[in-house]
A and B are shown apart, each in its own frame.
Chain A
């Protein structure tokens, strides 16, 4: 069969599409048949269709050089990832459970701190977390919701078990790609969608707006929701602008907002208009120069007082970074047991904390086998992938760990699952992860789908866009 799958090898990894070479899993059969019919020229044509549609829609992220902003396309791989319904239901339950527990943890940390006093999580670990915000003590966010929007990073191991890698409770980005990937996919393969039973994701912006509206601070008939962006030079500005447009809300910058008497207003051509809910894509530290970093030009002076007075909702709440700290992440299963008296549906990746002396010794001895991460970094920065690093790099990293152990955790190098991707004119297996998006307002909503990121460099385990990653459309099937 002269197909693009010729020479496709599994190399001992868990493959999302194939049980064995040439033998796709049942939920991939239809896609496999269709893709096998395509020649390289056919596939190149589809790529053209998709790439053009990306450029025209302005789906680019910006790389800034000395003077001139260069806009690049986030690489898009045309082979979709498929999740069968039963598997999705398990993920859906697991994610709900997890985000519910994280929200309860945040309430607890900023109120009674029972979980700390009961010794389930070390007190000093929480208090020393960069994401812990002392100003939030005793503050009651509207609806008691802290994590309105999260994007949990999931990976699959050699056996195909889903594991949680990170919880991302600080306004994660990427959801615009979920929507745009679907659009591009429909343009490139219109026929594939017919009768495939792919669940839609297009209602995400509406669900997000509903979530934000129903956590408004007061019983306003029509709460005014805005999206607060750091501005046009932020690398995720495209997404901010995209979501604001999709929701039909104002995209504001800090300088568009003004506070008076603990109320927040936006400057409009008709004068000042009250603002009720702020979906903010600015870090805690930059939100309000009066309460946090005084050199911030991005926020709005007085915002925190208005928030504490209960006159405006911030999504996500301030201080959720403490639940996002990679040194606290190992305790999430314990949180689930503590608050919900349930067993975790989704497991963690085994994690060593460098601030624990026993773990630290282990980490330093096994650096060349481990992935070491800074507890507050994201985007693939500040990490060491042991097996892919030189001895010098490991030694240098060991120094950093000894100097500031609280700042590092380590995990075994996972044999992440692979998925066919179109590389060099045919399909090859590439490592992938998965980020579904969870909305928490009065209820929890998870759109069936998410962002599947793919490490397009051969053998690479890093899927971030800044590190040579790309993305795929993700299909959750009806049945």
Chain B
């Protein structure tokens, strides 16, 4: 498989997952803001911008952290590369560049989603935000289902899995980071009783509320964090996503569990082991630092994947191998 193709498939999946996660974050915030007193509008909406990490871009275009500005910035704002419309558009551009590699059904679905999102307008979104965000979420899910059902599960599909799960792990960590800090500081301590709707909202933003409820009868901060970080049965927990990423990479390199083939696999293996053997109290001692560190490591994994598969100058069978190949050919002749 061409490196360019693998890279496009990887980013197609990442951008679509990002669009879905941004939609999740805003949707759940709308719900939560209905319950919040109007004085804390700022408190409700400002973290959205922190999660996506584009504070400078936001303040350059908007004066206040209110529902309207933040929604505009995160959905359709052309100057925001991580806005839902930008992400879907970039997912589509990546798909278009490798159209012969994906199934017709995948292309059709991504195209449909793209056209419905870019044709949306802010007034409609504001009138009925829930419809818009569930369209993005459902559109992404439909694409994932179609991908699994119509594309051969070969290398290309594995790169899609890699991109999707790496992004999802990153986004879950981001949501947890921002929301946790906001909630804990707001409630005066992490051990305070947590009947708060905000915790429910956090779980819901990851589609985790009902699975959490089935697993735990009590709503407790540390349990919520534990669930979203470590639960290996829940498909949006960080540990689940990283296991999936690691397995997809191993299927690509065809390497056994105890013999990682490249840096990306080594980094991921270590991260997965850390998540397996970590005590939740260690993470909670400074959750922000823990999650920040996690995000840095995920960035390294992304870089390492690029070095192993996308950039021929850094690959073992790359440019340096040409001379050996040509010599071998000449000796045969």
CA distance A265 to B2 in the complex (A): 11
Q: Is A261 touching B322 in the complex (CB atoms < 8 A)?
A: yes
In the complex, whether A251 has a CB less than 8 A from a CB of chain B is: yes
Identify whether the interface residues of B are mostly helix, strand, loop, or mixed. helix
In the complex, whether A260 has a CB less than 8 A from a CB of chain B is: yes
| Contact A244-B100, Cβ < 8 Å, known A256-B2, A267-B3, A269-B3 | yes
CA distance A261 to B312 in the complex (A): 17
Q: Is A260 touching B319 in the complex (CB atoms < 8 A)?
A: yes
Q: Is A274 touching B325 in the complex (CB atoms < 8 A)?
A: yes
Q: Is A269 touching B107 in the complex (CB atoms < 8 A)?
A: no
A-chain residues with CB within 8 Å of residue B310 when the two chains form the complex = 269
Chain A's closest residue to B318 (CB) is A271
Q: Is B323 touching A260 in the complex (CB atoms < 8 A)?
A: yes
| Contact A258-B319, Cβ < 8 Å, known A56-B108, A250-B2, A272-B312 | yes
Q: What are 12 A-B interface contacts by the 8 Å CB criterion?
A: A56-B104, A56-B108, A58-B99, A255-B4, A256-B2, A263-B326, A269-B3, A269-B155, A271-B312, A271-B315, A271-B318, A272-B325
A-chain residues with CB within 8 Å of residue B120 when the two chains form the complex = none
Provide the B295-325 mask, 1 if CB < 8 A to any CB of A, else 0.
0000000000000011010011111011101
Q: Is B321 touching A271 in the complex (CB atoms < 8 A)?
A: yes
Provide the A435-467 mask, 1 if CB < 8 A to any CB of B, else 0.
000000000000000000000000000000000
CA distance A462 to B190 in the complex (A): 76
CB-contacts of A239-292 with B (<8 A): 241-242, 244-245, 250-253, 255-256, 258, 260-261, 263, 265-272, 274
In the complex, whether B122 has a CB less than 8 A from a CB of chain A is: no
Provide the A30-65 mask, 1 if CB < 8 A to any CB of B, else 0.
000000000000000000000000001110000000
Within the complex, the shortest CB–CB distance from A251 to chain B, in Å, comes to: 5
In the complex, whether A19 has a CB less than 8 A from a CB of chain B is: no
Within the complex, the shortest CB–CB distance from A235 to chain B, in Å, comes to: 14
B-chain residues with CB within 8 Å of residue A272 when the two chains form the complex = 312, 317-319, 321-322, 325
In the complex, whether A340 has a CB less than 8 A from a CB of chain B is: no
Q: Is A258 touching B99 in the complex (CB atoms < 8 A)?
A: no
CA distance A271 to B107 in the complex (A): 28
In the complex, whether A232 has a CB less than 8 A from a CB of chain B is: yes
Q: Is B96 touching A232 in the complex (CB atoms < 8 A)?
A: yes
In the complex, whether B152 has a CB less than 8 A from a CB of chain A is: no
Q: Is B104 touching A266 in the complex (CB atoms < 8 A)?
A: no
Q: Is A271 touching B317 in the complex (CB atoms < 8 A)?
A: yes
Residue of B252, B309, B312 touching A258 (CB-CB under 8 A): B312
CB-contacts of A269-317 with B (<8 A): 269-272, 274
Within the complex, the shortest CB–CB distance from A306 to chain B, in Å, comes to: 11
In the complex, whether B6 has a CB less than 8 A from a CB of chain A is: yes
Q: Is A232 touching B97 in the complex (CB atoms < 8 A)?
A: yes
Give the total number of A-B pairs whose CB atoms are below 8 A apart: 68
Chain A's closest residue to B308 (CB) is A269
For chain A, the bracket of interface size reads 20 to 34
CA distance A58 to B4 in the complex (A): 22
6 cross-chain pairs, A with B, having the tightest CB-CB distances, nearest first: A271-B317, A241-B100, A260-B322, A267-B312, A269-B309, A267-B3
Chain B's closest residue to A266 (CB) is B2
In the complex, whether B192 has a CB less than 8 A from a CB of chain A is: no
In the complex, whether B1 has a CB less than 8 A from a CB of chain A is: yes
CA distance A261 to B108 in the complex (A): 43
Within the complex, the shortest CB–CB distance from A175 to chain B, in Å, comes to: 16
Within the complex, the shortest CB–CB distance from A261 to chain B, in Å, comes to: 5
Residues of A at the B interface (CB closer than 8 Å) are 56-58, 231-232, 241-242, 244-245, 250-253, 255-256, 258, 260-261, 263, 265-272, 274
Q: Is A267 touching B322 in the complex (CB atoms < 8 A)?
A: no
CA distance A265 to B319 in the complex (A): 10
A-chain residues with CB within 8 Å of residue B317 when the two chains form the complex = 270-272
Q: Is A261 touching B316 in the complex (CB atoms < 8 A)?
A: no
Q: Of residues A57, A232, A267, which shows the largest number of chain B Cβ atoms within 10 Å of its Cβ?
A: A267
Q: Is A261 touching B326 in the complex (CB atoms < 8 A)?
A: yes
Residue of B97, B104, B252, B321 touching A269 (CB-CB under 8 A): B252
B-chain residues with CB within 8 Å of residue A242 when the two chains form the complex = 100
Q: Is A268 touching B319 in the complex (CB atoms < 8 A)?
A: no
Q: Is A251 touching B319 in the complex (CB atoms < 8 A)?
A: no
Residue of A58, A241, A271 touching B316 (CB-CB under 8 A): A271
CA distance A269 to B315 in the complex (A): 8
Q: Is B326 touching A260 in the complex (CB atoms < 8 A)?
A: yes
Residue of B3, B252, B323 touching A268 (CB-CB under 8 A): B3
Within the complex, the shortest CB–CB distance from B2 to chain A, in Å, comes to: 5
Within the complex, the shortest CB–CB distance from B265 to chain A, in Å, comes to: 14
Q: Of residues A57, A231, A252, A268, which shows the largest number of chain B Cβ atoms within 10 Å of its Cβ?
A: A268
Chain A's closest residue to B89 (CB) is A68
Q: Is B3 touching A256 in the complex (CB atoms < 8 A)?
A: yes
Within the complex, the shortest CB–CB distance from A467 to chain B, in Å, comes to: 26
CB-contacts of B1-54 with A (<8 A): 1-4, 6
Q: Is A252 touching B2 in the complex (CB atoms < 8 A)?
A: yes
Within the complex, the shortest CB–CB distance from B317 to chain A, in Å, comes to: 2
CA distance A37 to B6 in the complex (A): 52
Chain B's closest residue to A269 (CB) is B309
A-chain residues with CB within 8 Å of residue B96 when the two chains form the complex = 232
Within the complex, the shortest CB–CB distance from B190 to chain A, in Å, comes to: 44
A-chain residues with CB within 8 Å of residue B155 when the two chains form the complex = 269
B-chain residues with CB within 8 Å of residue A241 when the two chains form the complex = 99-100
A-chain residues with CB within 8 Å of residue B321 when the two chains form the complex = 271-272
CA distance A7 to B116 in the complex (A): 44
B-chain residues with CB within 8 Å of residue A258 when the two chains form the complex = 312, 319
Within the complex, the shortest CB–CB distance from B319 to chain A, in Å, comes to: 7
CA distance A274 to B321 in the complex (A): 11
Q: A260-B326, A261-B326, A269-B309 are in contact. List 19 more A-B contacts (CB 8 A).
A: A56-B108, A58-B104, A58-B108, A232-B97, A242-B100, A244-B100, A252-B2, A258-B312, A260-B323, A263-B322, A263-B325, A265-B322, A267-B312, A268-B1, A269-B310, A271-B317, A272-B317, A272-B318, A274-B325
CA distance A265 to B322 in the complex (A): 9
| Contact A261-B323, Cβ < 8 Å, known A245-B100, A256-B4 | yes
Q: Is A268 touching B322 in the complex (CB atoms < 8 A)?
A: no
Q: Is B104 touching A57 in the complex (CB atoms < 8 A)?
A: yes
| Contact A58-B107, Cβ < 8 Å, known A267-B2, A269-B155 | yes
A-chain residues with CB within 8 Å of residue B108 when the two chains form the complex = 56, 58
CA distance A292 to B155 in the complex (A): 36
A-chain residues with CB within 8 Å of residue B100 when the two chains form the complex = 241-242, 244-245, 251
Provide the B51-95 mask, 1 if CB < 8 A to any CB of A, else 0.
000000000000000000000000000000000000000000000
CA distance A242 to B107 in the complex (A): 14
Chain B's closest residue to A237 (CB) is B99
CA distance A58 to B99 in the complex (A): 10
A-chain residues with CB within 8 Å of residue B315 when the two chains form the complex = 271
Q: Of residues A250, A266, A269, which shows the largest number of chain B Cβ atoms within 10 Å of its Cβ?
A: A269
Within the complex, the shortest CB–CB distance from A57 to chain B, in Å, comes to: 7
Chain A's closest residue to B107 (CB) is A58
A-chain residues with CB within 8 Å of residue B2 when the two chains form the complex = 250, 252, 256, 266-269
Q: Of residues B6, B317, B322, which shows the largest number of chain A Cβ atoms within 10 Å of its Cβ?
A: B322
Q: Of residues A232, A263, A271, A274, which shows the largest number of chain B Cβ atoms within 10 Å of its Cβ?
A: A271
